[in-house]
Amino acid sequence: MFGFGKRKLKLAAPVAGRIIDITEVADDVFSSKMMGDGFAVEPSAEADTIVAPCDGEVTLVAKTLHAVALRADGVELLIHVGLDTVELAGEGFHALVKAGDQVRRGTPLLQFDRAALEAQGKRLTTMLVLTNEAEQVKSVEKHLDDPAAVLTVHMRS
């Protein structure tokens, strides 16, 4: 009645840069929301570290080191660095965490070598996607102008 006990999760940008809606990503898998809703960041020139957007548990670090998955309050998140970066088989990436690690908002997760990735012709657009949205998420509020709370996820009871 008064909103007490309603569960919500605030997600920050995982890297410094210009925040865009997921529908603006130059990859149909993400822009069509095939993997889920979310947002993306065009990393700033000095950015080279992906950080946890909230407190949670690392559930996956891709073998190719270009993506990391987290679980926070039952919501599953995928942070995917770059477009077509899976093709690099880990070149230009360094994992700072492993599956099972508990992280706090702001904990460094991955580092990337901008020069190496750009030399391979890869765009650094970094997506944050809610991958189990249908099961856990009631609604999503987007605040694309607020890097500290880009998404507010309202969870099902």
Chain-wide mean pLDDT for the chain?
Answer: 90
Considering only CA atoms, which of 127, 116, 50 is closest in space to residue 88? 116
Confidence (pTM): 0.91
75 φ/ψ angles, rounded to the nearest 5 degrees: -90, 130
Q: How far apart are CA 58 and CA 6, in angstroms?
A: 24
pLDDT at 90: 83
**pLDDT: is 5 or 102 the higher one?**
102
Active-site residues, by number, are 80
Beta strands in the chain (DSSP E): 8-11, 17-21, 38-43, 49-51, 56-61, 67-72, 75-81, 93-95, 102-103, 108-112, 126-130, 137-142, 151-155
- Region 86-107: mean pLDDT is 92
pLDDT at 148: 87
What are the structural domains of the chain? Answer: 16-155 (2.70.70.10)
